[in-house]
Structure 1
Amino acid sequence: MKAFEYNTNPGRVVFGSGSIKKLPEEVKRLNKSKPLLLSTPQQAEQVKALEPILKNASITPAGLYSNATMHTPTHVTDEALVYANKCGADCVISFGGGSTTGLGKAISIRTGLEHISIPTTYAGSEMTPILGETAEGKKTTRSDPKILPGTVIYDVDFTMTLPESLSATSGVNAIAHAVEALYARNTNPIMNLLALEGTKALAESLPIIVNSPRDQDARSKAQYGAWLCAMCLGSVGMSLHHKLCHTLGGSFNMPHAETHTIVLPHAIAYNAPKIPETMKKLADVLPESDGDAIKGLNVLLTKLKVKRGLKDFGMKEEDVDKAAEIAVGNPYWNPRDIEKEPLRETIRRCWAGEEAKADL
C-alpha cells in the first residue's frame, strides 16, 4: 500500500428524523444563549420554525438575518456582521443550503462565534473547513479548521419539501466533492471509502427522489451520502472541476449547484486519460454505467431531468473564451495538465449542454 497522510476535521454530527428537537441542547452544550438565525430570503418563513423549539427551552434568538446569497458576497457578510453585533448574538445557527452555510462560516471565522449548521439541501458545505467568498466579480477560497461548523444537525424532515430539481442538482454537487477526492493529489484510502460510499448512496437515491419526492428513506439515504461526500471535500485538495465551478460562479454568476451538475461529467472526461483506476472505481458505484464512468454520469443526469447547458442559465457563448482565460490562470493541481484549447472546448460543451465524452 502507498504511503499517505490522513487528517480528520473535528466536528459533531446529530443525524436523524426529528433531531432538530436537540437544537436547544446543542446551544446549551456550547454555553450560549442568544443565537442569530441565518437563512436566505426564500427560507425566512421556514427558519422561524426553530424559534418555538428554542424558546421552549428558555433560549431566545438574538434575531434573524435572512439575506444570505449564493457565492457569499463579502458585502452581504459585512451587513450581517453589523446586524449580529447590534443584536448581541453569541453564536450563529445557519439554516438552509450552501448560501446560508457559507454566510455562517464567514461570520464565524471573522468573529469567532460558534456555528451550528442545519442543512436543508445536499450541497455539503457544512462539512468542510473551506470558505468561498465573492468580491468584485471574483470568487476566492480559503481553508482553515476554524471555518468548519462545530455542530451539524441533519434532520431529514427539513429536506422533504426540497423541490425535485434542487434535490437533484445539490445531490450531484455533493457527488462532485467525492469524485475529485478519488484522484486528489493528497487522497488516501479512507477518503476513497467515504467517496465511493457517498457517491453510491446518492446515485441510488436521487432518481427515486425525483420521481417520489416524499420518499423518506430515499431522502435520508441522500442526506447520508451528501454528508460522506462533503467530508471528502473538506479533507483533500480540489482540482479542475472546482476550479471551473468557482470561475463560472464567481465571474459569471452561474448558480452553484446547477453549475456543479453541468461541469462534473465534462471535468471527469477531461481527466479520464490520466485517472484510469479512479474511472473504474467510479463506474462500479454508478448504476447502468456498463463499466464506463462517463456513461454512468450521463445516464444519471438524464434520469434526474436536469438542465445540461450553462446557456440555460444566461451564460453567453462569447463568455467561453473569457472563462477559459480565467480558469488557466492560477490553476489548482490537476492530474492532467491544464491545456487551454482542450479546456476551452470543455467549457464550450458545458455551455452548449452536450453529453460528456473523453475525446480531448
Structure 2
Amino acid sequence: MSLVFEHSTLGQRVLFGSGKAASNLAAEVARTGAQRVMVIAAEFEAPIAAAVTRDIEVALNYDDVAPHVPIEKAEKARVAAAEHGIDLLVCIGGGSTTGLAKAVAMTSGLPIVAVPTTYAGSEATNVWGLTEAARKTTGVDDKVLPATVIYDAALTISLPIDLSVASGLNALAHCVDSMWAPRADPINQALAAEGIRALSAGLPTIKDNPDNLAGREQALYGAYLSAVAFASAGSGMHHKICHVLGGAYNLPHAQTHATVLPYVLAFNAPAAPEAAQRIAAAFGSEDSSGGLTLLRQRLDAPTALKNIGFAQENITEAVDLILPYIPESNPRPVDQESLTKLLQAAYSGATPEF
C-alpha cells in the first residue's frame, strides 16, 4: 500500500549537553544580539536560574508563575515585559514556566530561549494554554514556539523522583497520543516510538539512581522526541481529557497525565492495532497496555485521580466538558457512557478494561 501523508516539521535550534546550560545560554544570547533579557523562573527554581544565567546580563528576573497559566498571570507578565523593554525571553523550569513565556510571546512576538528542568515537553511545541474562570483553552501559534531549546540533564537532578516519574509519563503520553492524533503520520509515529523507547529506558534508571545522568539524558531525549511528535500530530483524546481536568479542577498537570494515560491506551488500542503494535514494540512488550503497566509498576506511578484532588461528584460535569473536544478522528467513537466509564475507572484506579 502506498504512503500518502502531509507532514510539517517545526524549525527550532536544539542544544543538548549535560553541564553546558550556562555556556550554551550565553552563546545564544550573544548570537541573537539580545540586550534586554527577561528570565522567567519560579521562585523555588531561583538557584538553578541563577546558575544558568551567571554569564549573561539580566534585565528582569520574573517569578510569578502558576500552573495552567491563569490569564491574570499572563497579562501581568506581558505588562512587565513591555515596561522593561524586553527583547528576549528566557524560561527556566517546567511546563508552567514555559507556558508563561509562551503567553508573553503570543502577544509580543518576542523570541524564547527555553531551558527545561522537567520532561514536560512544552518547550518543543507551538501549543499554548491559558486558564480563565476555571476553563483551560489551548491553541496553536508559531509565535510561541521557542527559537532555541537548551537541554541539560544536570538541571533535572533536583526534580524529586515522584515528579520525575510523573513528568516522564506525561512525556510518554505525548508519544502515545501522537500515534492516533488528528495529524498522525509515519514520521511523527516514528519519533513517538523512539520517544517511548528512550523514556522507558531512562525513567527506571532515574528511579533506581536519581543522580544517574545517563538515565536523565535518555529521559530528556525522549521528552524532546515526544514533544516534536505531539507538535506535529496534534492533540488527541488523552490530552483533551487532561487539559479539561487540569483547568476545571486545578489538578496537577504531570500527575493527571500519568494517571489517565493507561485508560486512554486501553480504550483506543483495540481500535488501532497497528499503532498499538508500534507502542508495544517500543516498550519491548507483546502488548501495548501490558508494556505500559509493567513500566508504571516499576516506577510506582500515580494510579488514581482521587489521590490528586479530583472528586467523584465531578465526573458527570467533566464528561460534559470533555466530550465536545474529543477529536472525530479518534480511533474509537467516544460517547457519554464510554467516557463516564473511563473517568470512573481513572478516578478509582481500577484496572483499565474496555
- What letter corresponds to residue 316 of structure 1 in structure 2? A
Structure 1 residue 109, shift from structure 2 partner: 1.4
Give the structure 2 partner of residue 49 of structure 1.
51
- Segment drifting more, 194-203 vs 80-89: 80-89
Structure 1 residue 273, shift from structure 2 partner: 2.4
Aligned pairs (5 A) from 1:70-89: 70-89=67-86
Q: Are residue 305 (structure 1) and residue 300 (structure 2) matched?
A: yes
Give the structure 2 partner of residue 344 of structure 1.
340
SS in 2 for 1:183: coil
Give the structure 1 partner of residue 17 of structure 2.
16
Give the structure 2 partner of residue 35 of structure 1.
37
- What letter corresponds to residue 305 of structure 2 in structure 1? L
Structure 1 residue 332, shift from structure 2 partner: 2.5
- Count of matched residue pairs: 351
Residue 321 of structure 1, aligned match among 316, 320, 336: 316
SS in 1 for 2:54: helix
Aligned pairs (5 A) from 1:255-294: 255-287=252-284, 289=285, 291-294=286-289
C-alpha distance in structure 1 between counterparts of 2:270 and 2:215, whole Å:
34
* Counterpart contact for 2:188–2:230, Cα < 8 Å: no
Give the structure 2 partner of residue 251 of structure 1.
248
Aligned pairs (5 A) from 1:1-360: 1-20=2-21, 21-54=23-56, 60-287=57-284, 289=285, 291-333=286-328, 334-357=330-353, 359=354
C-alpha distance in structure 2 between counterparts of 1:172 and 1:106, whole Å:
25
- What letter corresponds to residue 350 of structure 1 in structure 2? A
**1:95-130 residue CA offsets vs partner (Å, 9 max, x unmatched):** 001000001111111101111000010110000000
Q: What do you get for the CA RMSD once the two structures are aligned? A: 1.2
Structure 1 residue 296, shift from structure 2 partner: 1.2
- Segment drifting more, 36-45 vs 121-130: 36-45
* Counterpart contact for 2:178–2:230, Cα < 8 Å: yes
C-alpha distance in structure 1 between counterparts of 2:222 and 2:172, whole Å:
8
C-alpha distance in structure 1 between counterparts of 2:185 and 2:325, whole Å:
25
- Segment drifting more, 323-332 vs 130-139: 323-332
Q: Structure 1 vs Structure 2: percent identity of aligned residues? A: 38
**1:221-248 residue CA offsets vs partner (Å, 9 max, x unmatched):** 1111111111011111222101100110
Structure 1 residue ranges without an equivalent (≥5)? 55-59
C-alpha distance in structure 2 between counterparts of 1:107 and 1:18, whole Å:
28
* Counterpart contact for 1:294–1:356, Cα < 8 Å: no
- What letter corresponds to residue 344 of structure 1 in structure 2? T
- Segment drifting more, 183-192 vs 274-283: 183-192
C-alpha distance in structure 2 between counterparts of 1:338 and 1:103, whole Å:
32
* Counterpart contact for 1:133–1:141, Cα < 8 Å: yes
Structure 1 residue 188, shift from structure 2 partner: 1.7
C-alpha distance in structure 2 between counterparts of 1:124 and 1:187, whole Å:
18
SS in 2 for 1:116: strand
C-alpha distance in structure 1 between counterparts of 2:182 and 2:79, whole Å:
40
TM-score (norm 1): 0.95
Structure 1 residue 316, shift from structure 2 partner: 1.0
- What letter corresponds to residue 343 of structure 1 in structure 2? L
SS in 1 for 2:341: helix
Structure 2 residue ranges without an equivalent (≥5)? none
Structure 1 residue 183, shift from structure 2 partner: 1.6
SS in 2 for 1:329: helix
C-alpha distance in structure 2 between counterparts of 1:322 and 1:194, whole Å:
35
C-alpha distance in structure 1 between counterparts of 2:250 and 2:30, whole Å:
39
Structure 1 residue 206, shift from structure 2 partner: 0.3
**1:176-220 residue CA offsets vs partner (Å, 9 max, x unmatched):** 111111122322221121111111000111011011101111111
TM-score (norm 2): 0.96
Structure 1 residue 250, shift from structure 2 partner: 0.7
Give the structure 2 partner of residue 57 of structure 1.
none
Structure 1 residue 39, shift from structure 2 partner: 1.2
**1:43-65 residue CA offsets vs partner (Å, 9 max, x unmatched):** 123212234221xxxxx201111
C-alpha distance in structure 2 between counterparts of 1:254 and 1:332, whole Å:
22
